[in-house]
């Protein structure tokens, strides 16, 4: 596994943010992740007039990696231009625990250069994981 390239992840998360489709909430989000071989994938939130069909940036980035055959996500960045740093929502946290180790790092960053980090195990304590299905 390569060391996490946080600078590239932040840049790619910003690129995702720039492409976000958020005409209803105006709450744009970008995300980027790195997988074990060092490849980086990014995503953006995509809203829908039927609000329940909206898909978050984190889940879109994860889907891009999975589509490419990558399931070993080692780092993830969420980017917004909010004054308050934005953590992943509950649905995204559940998907994150599916593909990231409990000690992997997730960061939230914003346009002011602020950031906060969590380990996956802190985002969703006592998570229901694939291990619970055995």
Active site residues: 58
Of 79, 80, 116, 76, residue with least CA distance to 97: 76
**DSSP assignment, residue 89?**
P
Cα–Cα distance measured from residue 134 to residue 126, given in angstroms and rounded to the nearest whole number: 16
Of 88, 92, 85, 80, residue with least CA distance to 115: 85
Note the residue count of the chain.
134
**DSSP assignment, residue 21?**
B
Helix axes 57-67, 90-99, angle to 10 degrees: 30
């Amino acid at each position: 596994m390569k060391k996490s390239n946080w600078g590239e992840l932040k840049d790619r998360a910003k690129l995702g943010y720039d492409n976000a489709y958020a005409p209803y909430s105006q709450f744009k989000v970008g995300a980027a992740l790195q997988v074990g071989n060092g490849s980086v994938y990014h995503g953006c939130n995509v809203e829908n007039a039927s609000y329940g069909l909206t898909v978050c940036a984190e889940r879109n980035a994860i889907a891009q990696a999975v589509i490419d055959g990558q399931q070993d996500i080692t780092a993830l960045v969420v980017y917004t231009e909010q004054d308050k740093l934005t953590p992943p929502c509950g649905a995204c946290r559940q998907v994150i625990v599916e593909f990231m180790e409990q000690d992997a790092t997730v960061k939230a960053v914003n346009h002011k250069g602020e950031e906060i980090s969590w380990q996956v195990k802190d985002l969703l304590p006592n998570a229901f994981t694939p291990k619970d299905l055995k």
